[in-house]
Amino acid sequence: MALDVAAVVGERGWATAAQLQRRVSARTIGSWVATGKLVALRPGVYALPSVADGWRTRLGAALERGNGVASHVTALALWELVEHPPGPVHITVDPTRSARGAWAVTVHRSAGIDAERRRVDSLSVTSVERSLVDSWARPAPLRRSDIRAAAITAVRRRQASVRELALEVERRPRLPGRAELARLVGLLADGCQSELEIWGCLNVLRGPGMPPFVQQRRVVVGGEVFVLDAAYDEVALAVELDGAAWHGSRPQRERDIRRDALLATVGWQTLRFSFRRMTASPAGCRRDIRAVHAARQALFAANRVR
């Protein structure tokens, strides 16, 4: 009776020679490889042809010996911050440990990697902060913009700490593109949670002659918590930066109207700027903010005099 190769290999789709030899002989394994029923991922590790090209299969096989951790773009894919690109999987090992690169596996060496070891789906992986900085240094075949988006998403999801990310950047004085990444980390520390907020912060809110503001200001109204994109506390003025895809839908517009009305009941006025308006006329947006800010300053001063 012919053996079912997939049943022998198991759910993962790959197995070591030692694991296979608990059920079949070495001769049978050799026959399966010769006839294309198994693929040798590296010496002593075999996979079913249907999964041999999968990056998770190659990664699991590469980490089988326990010496390394998934790193760089492979780690970001495990953290579900990017799609794994075509090409090799990336692992990092301590320089004192032996590790050979296998088929479609790139091996990096770095001291102290064990301190960065985390677990995702039973696989060893570098921390989100370490993964982001490693990928920033070597983003190919992705682009820096992909890693930038991953960093913003990780902070917004609270998968990454801005403080730890800043420390990771600080530890890399020779990091390629370090100044650009440090600027991004600074904006994330200030409260920016999207590319739109970053663009608005740099080109509108921080423009010439603009009053100081705070980001991600929490306001509680009737037990509901609202987070303002930017707030001028001294005059109770909120500025919201509306993305076209999100705030363009009718349900979201209705939620925005309700939100602004509730904030008004506790004294907050809200200015909203669409992506199109901000990018087409940042100077006009700045003028509007300054004008309303000045008017509310005068109003607040008049109320104090009475």
Tell me: pLDDT of 29 over 70.
Answer: yes
More confident residue, 96 or 17: 17
**Which amino acid, residue 28?**
T
Q: What is the pTM of this model?
A: 0.80
- Of 116-120, 161-165, 284-288, minimum mean pLDDT range: 116-120
Q: What is the pLDDT of residues 88-113, one digit of tens each?
A: 999 999 887 665 555 688 999 988 88
pLDDT at position 11: 83
Closest to 166 (Cα-Cα) out of 139, 194, 187:
187
Q: Give buried/exposed letters for 29-56 (b at 16+ CB in 10 A, else e).
A: beebeeeebbbebbeebbbbeebbebbb
Say which residue, 162 or 61, is predicted with more confidence: 162
pLDDT at 3: 78
Mean pLDDT for 210-238 is: 95
Do the bridges between strand 105-109 and strand 237-242 make them parallel or antiparallel, or are there none, so unpaired?
unpaired
Q: What is the pLDDT of residue 67?
A: 77
240 neighbors 272 (Cβ within 8 angstroms): yes
Report the alpha-carbon distance of residue 301 to residue 297 in Å, rounded: 6
* Type of residue found at 293: H
pLDDT-wise least confident of 22-31, 248-257, 289-298: 248-257
Interval 142-156 mean pLDDT = 96
**Which phi and psi angles does 105 have, rounded to 5°?**
-130, 130
DSSP 89-122: EEEEE-TTS-----TTEEEEE-TTGGGGEEEETT
Look at residue 258 and give its three-state secondary structure. helix
- Across the chain, the runs of DSSP E, i.e. the strands, are 14-16, 39-42, 45-47, 68-70, 89-93, 105-109, 117-120, 123-126, 214-221, 224-232, 237-242, 269-274
For 116-144, the pLDDT digits (tens) are 899 998 899 999 999 999 999 999 899 99
Task: Provide the mean pLDDT of the chain.
Answer: 89
Question: CB of 70 within 8 A of CB of 85?
Answer: no
State the maximum Cα–Cα separation within the chain, in Å, rounded to a whole number: 98
Q: Between the CA of residue 57 and those of 1, 47, 89, 139, 274, what are the distances in Å?
A: 29, 8, 10, 22, 44
Check: CB of residue 89 under 8 Å from CB of residue 52.
Answer: no
Go through the domains of the chain in sequence order and give each one's CATH number: 5-52 (no CATH), 56-190 (no CATH), 195-305 (3.40.960.10)
Q: Which pLDDT belongs to residue 151?
A: 97
Question: What was the pLDDT predicted at 240?
Answer: 94
Within 10 angstroms of residue 75's Cβ, the number of other Cβ atoms is 31
Q: What percent of the chain has a predicted confidence (pLDDT) above 90?
A: 58
> In sequence order, what E strands does 37-104 have?
39-42, 45-47, 68-70, 89-93
Q: What integer pLDDT is reported at residue 51 of this predicted model?
A: 79
User: Residues 187-218: pLDDT tens digits?
Assistant: 999 999 889 899 999 999 998 899 999 999 99
Task: Over range 41-65, report the average pLDDT.
Answer: 83
pLDDT bracket for residue 179 (50, 70, 90): very high
Instruction: Give the torsion sign (CA, 135, 139, 140, 142).
Output: positive
* Per-residue model confidence (pLDDT) at position 245: 54
